[in-house]
Amino acid sequence: MMALRPYASASVAPLSLQNAEAIALRQNPGLGALTQKIAELRHKAVAVAQLPDPHLALGAANLPLNSFSMNQQQMSMLSVGLSQTFPSFGKLGLEGQQAGIEAREATDTLRGQSAELVLLLRRAWLQALYTEDAVATVQHQEQLEAESVQAALALYRSAQGTQAEVLRAQLAHASLANDITRLQAEQASDLAQIAQILNLPEPPSIEKQWPNLPPPPTLAEVEARLSGQPLLRAAQAQTRAAQMGVQVAKTGYWPDVTVSVGYGQDFHPGSPNWLSAGVNLSLPLFPGDRQDQDVAAARAKALQAQYRYDDQHLALTQQARAAFARYESHKIQLERIDRQLLPTARNAFSATLAAYSAGRAGLNAVLRTQKDVLGYALARLQHRRDLGLYAAELDFLTTQGEMQP
């Protein structure tokens, strides 16, 4: 089921994010293991609610050792018996309900981890797109820097420029080459992570188009939806299962009952056959070191589960508020860069370049304004990436529906 599938990136169309999410939910081994865990718990919920198997007893009584004859003595007898144990009142039903709650908890855990896997995939995807565009942006800047180096050399050879200007231009050009190498390594790492998430033998070729992730709702709506988040529902189900465990522990104060019936056949001439019946009760007379301790332990486990749920709810609330604030911040900064900062930096570079061509500015000013344009261009890509990252995180936090692997 979870075997690796070949994915020849050179022979197929680039993979879209939507298709990648479907592959991840279908092929990821971790989700496959959780699916089997759910099946295990559902079977267990049926099994634990059943009565224990009855006991069949076969025996020979008062058999003489000198002859092993069944009709030598009047009391020699062969017997067959059947006994059935009934656990304390209500225990089986409560254990079945508890196992059912645990199965629902595992189902919510699967949905939550499916959403987490999609979030992890989107993060790697957006990072890979960022590095792809960042490499292209820096390569374009590298070409401009190469032209600046040639211009500085020409001025130096004509005695109109200085050697320091040539060295600064060469240094800026070499620094960009390092940036390209670093970004390409990051991109390879991002694609390797995508391959791991998709359970593919090699990194896929992905679409270069930035995905249109849905904008998040208002902060009030995000917080209202947190109660339906699958991982939080799983924690809530764990609390209910632990509370049910307290009721199961309390059944230990009631006795287990074993009912037995037996039939014996006497082979001595004229002797009657025998029928026996009985009831056997456990006696929980001293509960201080057993039943009381079991109930106390179950109550402590239920409180522990409740505290974990409360802590997780607080953590998700804080995460939602922080993600929403950062989403709004990156949105505003991206709009400001597009509207004002990047156009102004480009205009400043054009004006400085014109002044340099007219002899009214030095090469250092040109290099500085070139660096400003590159900085704002990369900042724009970073804000676009981070805007998508926080949109994906808020989408994860507001997950409500079922996600089937």
DSSP 314-368: HHHHHHHHHHHHHHHHHHHHHHHIIIIIHHHHHHHHHHHHHHHHTTSS-HHHHHH
Six token digits for residue 287: 């509960």
Res 71: pLDDT: 77
- Find residue 206's DSSP bridge partners: 15
| Domains with residue ranges and CATH for the chain | 17-62+74-398 (1.20.1600.10)
- Chunked in runs of 10, what are the mean pLDDT values of the chain (405 residues)? 40 83 89 90 90 91 75 79 92 91 91 93 95 92 81 77 81 87 93 92 90 88 92 92 94 92 83 87 88 94 95 95 96 95 93 84 83 92 95 91 46
Res 144: pLDDT: 80
Spatial separation of the C-alpha atoms in residues 347 and 95, rounded to whole Å:
73
**What predicted TM-score, i.e. pTM, was given to this entire model?**
0.80
Res 381: pLDDT: 95
- Find residue 278's DSSP bridge partners: 260
Closest of 131, 116, 119, 133 to residue 189, by C-alpha: 131
Rounded to 5°, angle at Cα 380 from 379 and 385: 95
Res 69: pLDDT: 75
Six token digits for residue 187: 């991109």
**Residue pair 255/283 in contact by the 8 Å Cβ criterion:** yes
